Amino acid sequence: MTFAAATTAVAAAAIAAPLALRPAHPEPVVNISVIRPKEGQYEAFLELQLAQHRRLRGQVKGLRGARLFRSAEGLVLISVFDTQQDADAFREDPRFTDHMAQVRPLIEKSEAGVFAEAYAVGSI
């Protein structure tokens, strides 16, 4: 299954399930990055990303958790912070900027954004 087909299938399943809108109150900050490593650099990128995860586990203020999803076409990294201030502080942290300097040459394309949960179906 292609990356596009998988995301379409997930969206279709979510639409078909009962919808529970979230109340309007401060939500955690969800950063989502869609990353396509350069040809031949997938494993090198993944190795650096996993090493960063192991190094920083439990040491980043306000980081609730993260998930890295992989497919043949690329990766999706989801990081959840308590507040926008926590997310911004980490983005300026040398541990993050140094890591980005290492992985950036391995990336063909990357798109990132800040999201808020609109609905939830089940647990992940």
What pLDDT, in 10s, does the model give residues 3-15?
565 555 555 555 5
- Residue 75: other Cβ atoms inside 10 A: 20
pLDDT in tens, 59-99: 999 999 999 999 988 999 999 999 999 999 999 999 999 99
According to CATH, the topology of domain 26-115 is: Alpha-Beta Plaits (3.30.70)
Q: How many whole angstroms separate alpha carbon 97 and alpha carbon 90?
A: 9
From residue 123, give the alpha-carbon distance in Å to each of 24, 63, 64. 20, 19, 16
pLDDT at 54 over 80: yes
pTM of the full structure = 0.75
Which pLDDT does position 118 carry in this prediction? 87
